[in-house]
Amino acid sequence: CGVYGVWNVPNAASLSYYGLHALQHRGEESAGICTADSTQDGKFNYHRGMGLVKEVFTQDVLETLEGNAAIGHVRYSTAGESKLANAQPLIFKYRKGDLAVATNGNIVNAPSIREELENLGSIFQTSSDTEVIAHLIARSSKDFVGAAKDALQRIIGGFAFLIMTNNKLIVASDPHGLRPLVMGRLGDGYVFASESCALETVGAEYERDVQPGELIVLDENGMTVDRFAPLERRATCAMEYIYFARPDSDINGINLHSSRKRMGQKLAVEAFVDADIVTGVPDSSISAAIGYAEQTGIPYELGLIKNKYTGRTFIQPSQELREKGVKMKLSAVRKVVEGKRVVMIDDSIVRGTTSLRIVNMLREAGATEVHVRITSPPFANPCYYGIDTPDRRELIASSKTVEEIRQAINADSLYFLSHEGLIDAVGGNEGAKNRGMCLACFDNDYPTPVDFSSDKSCSC
Ligand code: 5GP
Ligand code: SF4
Ligand code: MG
């Protein structure tokens, strides 16, 4: 998911609209914006809907969302939970006023907290784990900031939170900084976003990344920086660097295009293969393919094209059309790959079905050899922190060796970037474990306790 927050900037809704549009790749299922005027009565105005930002918000709708403060959200979830009731920001009325909550991430212990609260009589309106935080805040006898602090201390997981009341905005990042969140300045106000590309797009100036365990409060007194947890080991999600975030974003000061390019260079050093062209699976692997090509001297070519109008919500072709070879998303460029030995760079192999399809597509277009190079280690363990991954059993790398995966995807050769190669390519803080990254889906070393038996469904 993607979150966006605005404080003390006129017309916060239209700013959020452009910001969320820049974060659209983080979630295409639903979008929402809640605004308030922090200088007046702080009354909430909000709108949420299923679909893309540009589909959910028309000019007319945006004009009803008055105020100089806003939080917004784009959502990406597992299929079963894709419904309007779970669209964020979630809005609540409680005895102290209104509460709007937008989050990116996943609360690992939400099921047990929810059960405890339900046993005490709480009625939940959604199946989203984000609702837990609102209940914890509403039940507390402390003031809003104290209550939010207590609530944040109870939850375990990876999350970037934006919580708005009629006169305050709270911004928080989990104690390991698993999910990215940046702060920017615009005039006298502040803008917060999952990725820095969404600051650029509205002309806000990047100030810094929100730090793990930080709790930032904005109100009529300006900004107060506090913490709800000590800085533990920073463990920013490696998959953000590998494929999720946009290449023009920076996370912890590291540009995504550049780090992906270095991943490609590392792959070239670790697993050179003699070939005629290098191609990347669009969009996420183009940077890495450029790096591989630069390092080896093998020309980079656009061997694969992505149809940019295919979203996750797009109607899938029927089985019959699929068998006829209707390719919704990717096509191979025959004149480019025909008769060529191709190195195909991709970011990850999850189930293996995409890779098999692409390798076969290149072969059908006339490639004589297809060598697959992956910019991450084998993805063998599920994520509990908000990246949508299937069950461990469905992860091809959890049960197959690299050679077995190579056979399953019909490649001439297959190589996964080493842990060290990945860590060096990203190049975070040298003193920190894994240079400040979570690599749990590759090494099973989760930065927080996780409940392996729980339904790890993702709320974000
Ligand atoms: P698969 O191997 O499951 O068929 O698909 C792998 C492709 O899915 C990769 O090309 C990658 O871009 C995309 N992908 C990468 N990471 C994830 C993830 O965490 N979840 C899902 N659902 N897809 C991912
Ligand atoms: Fe990211 Fe993998 Fe860690 Fe999940 S387990 S937060 S996908 S690095
Ligand atoms: Mg991909």
CA distance 30 to 28: 6
Handedness of CA 213, 102, 25, 447 (dihedral sign): positive
CA distance 308 to 20: 18
Among 25, 239, 354, 356, the mutation site with the greatest number of ligand 1 atoms within 8 A of its Cβ is: 354
- Per the CB < 8 A criterion, the answer to whether 32 and 49 are in contact is yes
Report whether residue 438 contacts ligand 2, using a CB cutoff of 6 Å: yes
How many Å separate Cα 299 from the centre of its chain?
Answer: 31
Give the start-to-end residue ranges of the domains of the chain.
2-232, 256-308+317-437
Q: Which of 253, 197, 183 is nearest to 436 (CA)?
A: 253
CA distance 20 to 74: 7
Residue nearest to atom 4 of ligand 2 (CA): 383
Looking at the whole model, is its pTM more than 0.90? yes
Class for domain 256-308+317-437, per CATH? Answer: alpha beta
What's the pLDDT tens digit per position in 437-454?
999 999 999 999 997 765
Q: Does the annotation flag 460 for ligand binding? A: no
Q: How confident is the model at residue 316 (pLDDT cuts 50, 70, 90)?
A: low
E-strand stretches of 113-188 = 157-164, 169-173, 182-186
CA distance 207 to 221: 19
CA distance 184 to 205: 5
Catalytic residue at 1? yes
CA of 39: how far to CAs of 177, 396, 409, in Å?
31, 54, 59
CA distance 192 to 162: 9
Alpha carbon of 440 to ligand 2 centroid (Å): 6
Q: Does the annotation flag 237 for ligand binding? A: yes
| Distant-in-sequence, close-in-space partners of 285: CB < 8 Å, separation ≥ 6 | 243, 260, 345, 346, 347, 375
Residue nearest to atom 1 of ligand 2 (CA): 237
Which of ligand 2's atoms lies nearest the C-alpha of 235?
3
The structure tokens 């820095």 sit at 196
CA distance 390 to 456: 9
309 has a pLDDT exceeding 90: no
Minimum mean pLDDT range among 87-91, 255-259, 423-427, 455-459: 455-459
Q: Which of 159, 156, 135, 158 is nearest to 147 (CA)?
A: 135
The rounded mean pLDDT for the chain is 93
- Average pLDDT of the segment spanning 77-89: 75
Q: Which CATH superfamily is domain 2-232 in?
A: Aminohydrolase, N-terminal nucleophile (Ntn) domain (3.60.20.10)
Q: Does the annotation flag 276 for ligand binding? A: no
What's the pLDDT tens digit per position in 366-423?
999 999 999 999 999 999 998 888 889 989 999 999 999 999 999 999 999 999 999 9
Which of ligand 2's atoms lies nearest the C-alpha of 440?
5
Q: Which of 202, 212, 153 is nearest to 178 (CA)?
A: 212
- Per the CB < 8 A criterion, the answer to whether 36 and 42 are in contact is yes
What's the pLDDT tens digit per position in 192-201?
999 999 999 9
Ligand 1 pocket, residues with Cβ under 6 angstroms: 239, 243, 281, 284, 346-355, 387-389
81 has a pLDDT exceeding 90: no
Cβ atoms within 10 Å of 358's Cβ, excluding its own: 24
- Average pLDDT of the segment spanning 127-148: 94
Domains 2-232 and 256-308+317-437 share a fold: no
What's the pLDDT tens digit per position in 206-257?
999 999 999 999 999 999 999 999 987 899 999 999 999 999 999 999 999 9
Alpha carbon of 196 to ligand 2 centroid (Å): 20
Buried b (16+ CB within 10 A) or exposed e, 403-430: eebbebbbbbebbbbebebbbbbbebee
Alpha carbon of 349 to ligand 3 centroid (Å): 9
- Average pLDDT of the segment spanning 38-66: 95
CA distance 139 to 368: 65
Buried b (16+ CB within 10 A) or exposed e, 199-238: bbbbebebeebbbbbbbbbbbeeeeeeebbbeeeebbbbb
The burial class, CB within 10 Å (0-12 / 13-18 / 19+), for 97 is middle
Cβ atoms within 10 Å of 367's Cβ, excluding its own: 28
